[in-house]
Chains A and B, each alone.
Chain A
Amino acid sequence: MKNTNSEHDKLCEDVLKKIRTGEVHMKSRAFFTFKIITFVLTTIALLATSALLVSYIIFSIQASGQLFLVGFGGRGFMLFFLSFPWGLLIVDIILWICLEWLIRDFKICYQYPLSYVFLALLVASTLLGLIINTTSIHKSLMRRAEERRLPLVGSFYDHLRRPPHENGEYRGVVMSVGTSTFIIHDEYHDGRDATWTIDVPQEIKTNMFIKVGDTVFIAGTSESSTTIRAFGIRKFMPEFLNERGGF
């Protein structure tokens, strides 16, 4: 026991000797302040990126009209599932995991189960994303991308108002309305003008809610090069239309 105590005393003396001779230095308070500032900035940057991604996902499914698909029954829901930007959502989940890893050593984080922290990050990121969506940031970026004035991230926006026809999604301005058909003009179809005749199922009374000049989103199947058999139709809200009232 005596031996052990003297060994321990020696250990303490060794450490003190290293401190006195300057072999071991105390890191300055400024070092830790800088570390905390870097940490806080990284956390804010990650959270902002994550919120921006959430806001983009919400904006993209609204602006493209894909959100309407959810209301078109099972077939529409399947189409929505297939066209959802899953890749971006996965990137966002990775960002939330990175955030959780980053803040895990803070008491506010580790005193709660991981699932709660993850949920809190998800809610915070989504709320921030919704706040971002109340601004016109995405709309102006989309406009610039369509005018080919948005390098780097332009590809995220320039296709949003050109739905993928191969998935059965169409968009256009109503030219005329009949009882069981109406005609739309799709300005951006494959980069050239196209006019489509829309065959409407009997249960949908198009002339009740569609009028000439409206911009509409249609889910359906192409029956010929100019005819679409629709199973779902929705009118776009004005905030997702441009100055010309078109797409």
Chain B
Amino acid sequence: MNDNIAHSTDEELASEVQKGDTEKFGILMRRYEQKLFRYGRKFLSSRDNIEDIVQDVFIKTYQNIQSFDPTQRFSPWVYRIAHNTFINALKKEIRNPLYFFDFDTIMAHPVYEDPDAKEKEQKEIKALVDKGLDKLSPHYREIIILYYLEELKYKEIAEILHIPVSTVGIRLKRAKDALKRMWKETNIPLT
């Protein structure tokens, strides 16, 4: 039985929850809690109420699970809920319109996802992220987390952020540039 559950996909578990098996929701939560904590901690940077916010993500996930289509992937759906919850938490904190209009979403941009380049950059970016990601603007910070830390693909990030895949590429490039610029300006040692 337990072996069966361990082999069940997220989508199958979500479908069971939709049918009323609420205990399966516990398994889903355990599968995502580490990822969401990591995502939340980096995105919201050193907040002490991260547990409450992640709990809020799970509550919203449960409340809205009937809107999930089990023929689609569960992961981008739950990340989308997390993204919205984290954004709301940030908005409450800074009391400013957080996401100004992103001009990169207006036009199409050439896009090429290069796994080799990602592998090469990953270590360096992770080190930069650990040193000073909190100084980066939230929409750059988030895309760096999703790509380099959560190791999601462009298509998955596009589904989470509800932006075109080409915008993921250009935003990621701008985010990396900003991060490197910031690193040069502050001269933070990477080791």
Contacts and interface: CB of A to CB of B under 8 A. Distances in A.
Nearest to A8: B33
B11 interface: no
A28 B106 CA distance: 36
Nearest to A118: B106
B162 A8 contact: no
Nearest to B166: A113
B161 to A, nearest CB: 8
B58 interface: yes
B166 to A, nearest CB: 7
A139 to B, nearest CB: 39
Contacts, number: 76
Contact of A26 (B29, B58, B66, B107): B66
Interface string A1-29: 00000011001101110111000111111
A31 B167 CA distance: 33
Interface in A187-206: none
B66 A113 contact: no
A11 B64 contact: no
Contacts of A12: 26, 29-30, 33, 58
Interface residues of B, number: 33
Contacts of B108: 112-113, 116
B88 interface: no
B20 to A, nearest CB: 9
B106 A113 contact: yes
A104 B101 CA distance: 13
A25 B63 contact: yes
Contacts of A11: 29, 33, 51, 54-55, 58
Given A110-B163, A110-B164, A113-B108, A24 B62 contact: yes
Interface string B96-125: 000000000111100000000000000000
Contact of A31 (B25, B66, B106, B164): B66
A19 B25 contact: yes
Given A11-B33, A111-B165, A18 B59 contact: yes
Contacts of B164: 110-113
B55 to A, nearest CB: 5
A32 B68 CA distance: 10
B22 A19 contact: yes
Interface residues of A, number: 28
B162 A29 contact: no
Contacts of A105: 162
Interface string A38-73: 000000000000000000000000000000000000
B178 interface: no
19 contacts: A11-B29, A11-B33, A12-B26, A12-B29, A12-B30, A12-B33, A12-B58, A16-B25, A16-B26, A19-B25, A26-B62, A26-B66, A28-B66, A32-B64, A104-B162, A110-B164, A113-B164, A114-B106, A115-B107
Given A24-B59, A113-B164, 16 more contacts: A12-B33, A14-B55, A15-B62, A16-B25, A19-B22, A19-B25, A24-B62, A26-B65, A27-B64, A110-B164, A111-B165, A112-B108, A112-B164, A113-B107, A114-B106, A116-B108
Closest 4 CB pairs between A and B? A110-B162, A32-B67, A12-B29, A29-B66
